[in-house]
Amino acid sequence: MTRFSAWNVIKNGLSNQKGWDRQWQDCEPKDQYDVVIVGGGIHGLATAYYLAKNHGIKNIAVVEKGWLGGGNAGRNTTIVRSNYFQPGNRQFYEHSLKLWENLSHELNYNVMFSQRGHVSLLHSPSAIDTAARRYNTMRLTGSDAEIWGLKKLKQKIPHLNYNVNARFPIMGAAVQKRAGTARHDAVVWGFARAADQRGVNIIQNCEVIGIKRDKGKIIGLETSRGFINCKKVGFSAAGNTTLLWNMAGLGELPIESHKLQAFVTEPLKPLLDHVVVFGVGGAHFYISQSDKGGLVFGGDLDSYKSYAQRGNLPIVQDVAECATSILPCLGRVRLLRHWSGTCDMSMDGSHFICKTPLKNLYLNAGWNYGGFKAGPSAGWYFADLIANDRPDGVIANHDLKRFERGINIDERGAGPDPKLHG
Amino acid sequence: MIRIQCPFCGERDHSEFTYGGDGSIKYPALNAPIKDWLAAVFHRKNIRGLQLESWHHINGCRMWLLVERDTVTHKIESVRAAHIDFQKILKV
């Protein structure tokens, strides 16, 4: 594998780019693996990478039914932040943010992580108080957080709609400066390349179509490319988790699949150098500008349960209304594309990284629409769970039985209704 | 846009409705074991294909409806009033 370095870039620049290898091998599935991860997105590939790196496991495969990063890894708005409040969540996401900060070096792959700052707009004194409580708690966890007054916000992002007669006038912002965006494909490819380098087999176009069980244990996976025997199995399949769960004959999950859209406009000259979030009075909107210049943004779920990876028009209108209400300068910008991913919405808005009723099956699911930022950390803790067969303290409550114990890790306080989280 | 044939109002855009979720859930008796309540409140079949679900015509007649809809194609197979008495009156 040719390392990416200044020297190699110059050398290949002078030799017609002939010196580069394949980024990862196109593997035929073997008969048997120690660990098989189902799902070749950021989470699955990160899990395989950390299994190999942190736990020295050699014989690992990642099976993906389509192409790498073609699911939610390629369908999000690429925001990375750790402004979570609930115990467990805030340590988890802060760990993720720390991994992000060193990810390009770790993987020898430029994931284009840009810590441009995450600015959540605040519209009332009580919202400022609530944000202060949340952001103080983040500081106690060792994260960074600050509250900006109107004067500072106007200096930093002058072209927001500061009209005092707006329906929800802007009064300040809660800011995490270390947060930002990353390049979604690069993260997937970086993890794939680094995992491949450590001997992980990455098998694309390999759909799991059946699961062979012997009582409380999985023997192997029936796939579109043949039967694979496995000692341990990890599900990391986001919106399609329920389908795998049914194949394993395990009943119902506290998860519903909903779809979330994202949007990009035509490329513009530099306009917005922060991630801006607008969420008040039913509006929900987040926007950043990609390195290509397109404004990337999104809003709420499409309102009804769905496995279709295509969005509906009422949300296009809803999001466009939000966009023009906080950034009126976007009024004449044209929308280039919009797309949709199938999100595994959980009953309390938090994730599951846990053991399952089957002895050698592990679950990583329930990411709602926050899975992108969690990728590195999810891989880290999921690998730790699979290797050691016990959850780390940080994810101790992120199991399927927490509702039975009366524990809801509900950041939004929305109750057991999947469509309301996110 | 999904168009829903409301038995009271006729065919309307789905944006007039709010989605109520799985319509096949039967809530247990108040004194039922906690296990039954756990299943009703937290566990979902999460069907890929035809499912029964509830919709509330919030910006119309404000009636609850039971809709059979495919969760992949979004095609609606049937719509009826959620309340059994209305079903009898409307014969749908």
Residue ranges of A 382-411 with Cβ closer than 8 A to chain B: 403-404
Check: CB of residue A358 under 8 Å from CB of residue A213.
yes
**A255 touches B at CB < 8 Å:** yes
pLDDT of res. B92: 52
Q: CA–CA separation, A231 vs B19, rounded Å?
A: 42
Domain span holding position B50: 22-91
A347 vs B13, B42, B69: nearest CB: B42
Check: CB of residue B6 under 8 Å from CB of residue B57.
yes
Positive or negative torsion for Cα A165, A420, A319, A93: positive
SS3 (DSSP) at A382: helix
Average pLDDT, chain B: 95
Average pLDDT, chain A: 96
Q: Which conformational region is residue B64 in: left (phi greater than 0), alpha (psi within -120 to 50 degrees), or beta?
A: beta
Name the domain count of chain B.
1
Name the E strands within A191-284.
201-203, 208-214, 217-223, 226-235, 255-265, 275-278
The answer as to whether B14 is a domain residue is no
A256 vs B15, B41, B46: nearest CB: B46
Interchain proximity A418–B74, CB inside 8 Å: no
Q: For chain B, how big is the Rg over CA atoms in Å?
A: 14
Check: CB of residue A234 under 8 Å from CB of residue A36.
yes
pLDDT of res. A65: 97
Global pTM value: 0.96
pLDDT of res. B72: 97
**Average pLDDT, integer, range B26-53:** 96
The answer as to whether B1 is a domain residue is no
Residue A79: is its pLDDT beyond 70? yes
**Average pLDDT, integer, range B39-65:** 97
**A416 touches B at CB < 8 Å:** yes
**Average pLDDT, integer, range A53-75:** 97
CATH number, domain containing residue B33: 3.30.2270.10
pLDDT of res. B90: 83
The answer as to whether B13 is a domain residue is no
Interchain proximity A305–B46, CB inside 8 Å: yes
Check: CB of residue A238 under 8 Å from CB of residue A39.
yes
Contacts of A30 (CB under 8 A, 6+ apart): A59, A61, A201, A228
Q: CA–CA separation, A64 vs A62, rounded Å?
A: 7
Interchain proximity B42–A307, CB inside 8 Å: no
What is the percent of chain A where pLDDT is above 90? 98
Residue A160 DSSP code: S
Determine which of A331-335, B34-38, B88-92 has the lowest per-residue pLDDT on average.
B88-92
Q: Dump pLDDT digits (tens) for A143-165.
A: 999 999 999 999 999 999 999 99
Q: Dump pLDDT digits (tens) for A345-365.
A: 999 999 999 999 999 999 999
Q: Dump pLDDT digits (tens) for A243-288.
A: 999 999 999 999 999 999 999 999 999 999 999 999 998 889 999 9
Contacts of A115 (CB under 8 A, 6+ apart): A101, A177, A178, A179, A180
pLDDT of res. A316: 95
Q: CA distances (Å), A109 to each of A21, A23, A124, A346, in order?
A: 14, 11, 42, 32
Angle between helices A184-197 and A371-388 (to 10 degrees): 20
The answer as to whether B46 is a domain residue is yes
B45 vs A252, A312, A313: nearest CB: A252
Residue ranges of B 5-64 with Cβ closer than 8 A to chain A: 13-15, 18-19, 21-22, 38-39, 41-46, 48, 51, 53
In a 10 Å sphere around its CB, with 0-12 CB exposed, 13-18 middle and 19+ buried, how is residue A42 labelled?
buried
The answer as to whether B82 is a domain residue is yes
What is the number of other CB atoms lying within 10 angstroms of the CB of residue A142? 12
Q: CA–CA separation, A419 vs A258, rounded Å?
A: 7
Interchain proximity B21–A417, CB inside 8 Å: yes
